[in-house]
Structure 1
């Protein structure tokens, strides 16, 4: 059920009377940006971070039972006891909600248990539960509860085809539109910030560092590692200047990206969807070099703005003009589609049946 949506419908009077419970990832700016758009559209918006009351943090017995129960089947006495305790904290949390909700909207946030969603439905009989994934299903810890929702959207086309999800691209937040430098005034020619997932990622950045040194390009490369992953590199490789144990905050990450002419986008193994770096680049009129071959299928694709890297050996063949010639500005309608505003509008157009597909 891979589906593409169109923009253009405004908020209806019926929607303005509806109420939304929503949750999202803790990444800076996402909660605020999504909430602002939901508040434009609906009468009442309530944010929820987790699926049980915060008092459970103080309950040592609950924590012990939770860990033990992970290895037990549903018929086990301790498993049943844990579920009883879990229900107590779910009830305590929901007793704080005085409103009846029309929607439960989760954007790649914390995992909400089956028990929580069932109780939410019991207390809100007309509620529609909506879930958006910006990770491939097999790469996320949220896969255990994903199928409890009425509407499941994913940024990954392959997951949409495999699991019959609705397809919807990831989006950029309002923060991405602030303090954007002109192309000619950007501080860096290219940037990459990410984790050390495998040797290939290290080897790609190493080759890009050589390329930048050869052409006197200013780069900002950082790969974060932990003690376990660093073992995939030998002693000499670990001396690379772009390797670090210190993570960069998300706001600093965005600042660097907005001050770069080109963003390097490296997909994780098994991931076909666009990473968050791509809509962020769209927001700031930044060029993209990517290992994602599927990027050609998207409406924003322009070979002047996007260079597809098929193999490491191709790095040395990237024309230097790609870093020198300005990014071609996208049509404002396309740019809006990748905004939080466009994202929220499309999701609820589908849920309310405004977009119907065979």
Structure 2
């Protein structure tokens, strides 16, 4: 069997799908859109593209991206299945051409359609559309499929460097983070919270326990910091109802979670001993949550969320 994954693997999660498929004896190719680097050959080309987008609805960057995809598809040939992650980056016309290279053309949405617009791609293109977002699943009748556990289960430690851990981008969640840290300070809970920003300044009135960094933190470094932390903090973006990868990293590392994601209560792994769901409009954190040990999941529930089961489900292996 030959399978191709087309994705924008900015955070390095998608490579685990490739590795799992290869473990199953599948000939797998990854067309990583993150590796496509575009630059204008001249200033005049940049000006031309500016007017081309306005008057011709033609973006040279997207044209070059499509060429990048088709050159690789021409090289690897016909595929039994092709899975696209982040299909919003590709035009409908290009999707229809990609579809000619395979018997089964599917896509997976690991983010909300409110953030990445895909309404124009929901009909007559994909054989199956899988989504992690509960609102999108209900609205568009997508097939429900969460993100996945991609690391081996880790035995619970007795001592940690940090009690609370979070790393996130600088966005609308910052005020909520500051409020949470204020609550944690009142009950003497230590935290390590990192906010990654393109700016070199610290926003005003931010909690002193937040560390601001300009550069992206390598995934291996983030994993190391998580291993040295007892509880993970998960703050969802506005209008999201899906589960972030942080939740599945917590399941693998058998860590407690404090989250603003109300939808987590709908999943079979939800346990109020392990997961504290807080209301953004009325933040209350009880110290008793920190005084009990993590309660491990049943094996059958844990397996349901592993990458092994994810790959078997989406590719019908």
TM interval, shorter chain, is 0.7 to 0.9
Any conservation in 2 of the 1:192–1:265 contact (CA below 8 Å)?
A: yes
- Once the 2 structures are TM-superposed, how far is the Cα of residue 142 of structure 1 from its aligned partner? 6.0
Question: Unmatched 5+ residue regions in structure 1?
Answer: 1-17, 353-358
The equivalences for 1:241-320 within 5 A come to 241-246=209-214, 247-311=216-280, 313-315=282-284, 318-320=285-287
Bigger Rg over Cα: 1
The answer to whether residue 22 in structure 2 is matched with residue 23 in structure 1 is: no
1:169–1:338 Cα contact (<8 Å) kept: yes
> Aligned partners of 2:297 and 2:50: how far apart in 1?
50
TM-score, reference length from structure 1: 0.75
Identify, as 1 or 2, the structure richer in helix. 1
Q: Report the equivalent of 2:103.
A: 127
The alignment's TM-score, normalised by the length of structure 2, stands at: 0.83
After TM superposition, list the pairs within 5 Å mapping 1:1-358 onto structure 2. 18-27=1-10, 29-41=12-24, 43-50=26-33, 66-73=49-56, 79=58, 91-97=70-76, 99-108=77-86, 111-122=89-100, 124=101, 126-140=102-116, 145=121, 148-174=125-151, 177=152, 180=154, 182-198=156-172, 201-227=173-199, 235=204, 237-238=205-206, 240-246=208-214, 247-311=216-280, 313-315=282-284, 318-349=285-316
Distance 1:209 1:86 in 2: 42
Separation of aligned partners in 2, 1:250 and 1:144: 33
DSSP-derived class of the 1:102 partner: strand
**Structure-2 change in CA distance of 1:100 and 1:33 (3 Å):** same
| Aligned counterpart, 1:6 | none
Once residues 263 and 81 of structure 1 are traced to their aligned partners in structure 2, the CA distance between those partners, rounded to angstroms, is 42
Which runs of 5 or more structure 2 residues have no equivalent in the other structure? Answer: none
Higher relative contact order (CA 8 A, sep 6+): 1
Aligned length: 314
- For residue 185 of structure 1, give the secondary structure of its aligned residue in structure 2: coil
What secondary structure, in the 3-state scheme, does the structure 1 residue paired with 2:79 have?
A: coil
Whose strand fraction is larger, Structure 1's or Structure 2's? Answer: 2
Shift of 1:88: 6.1
2:273 match: secondary structure:
coil
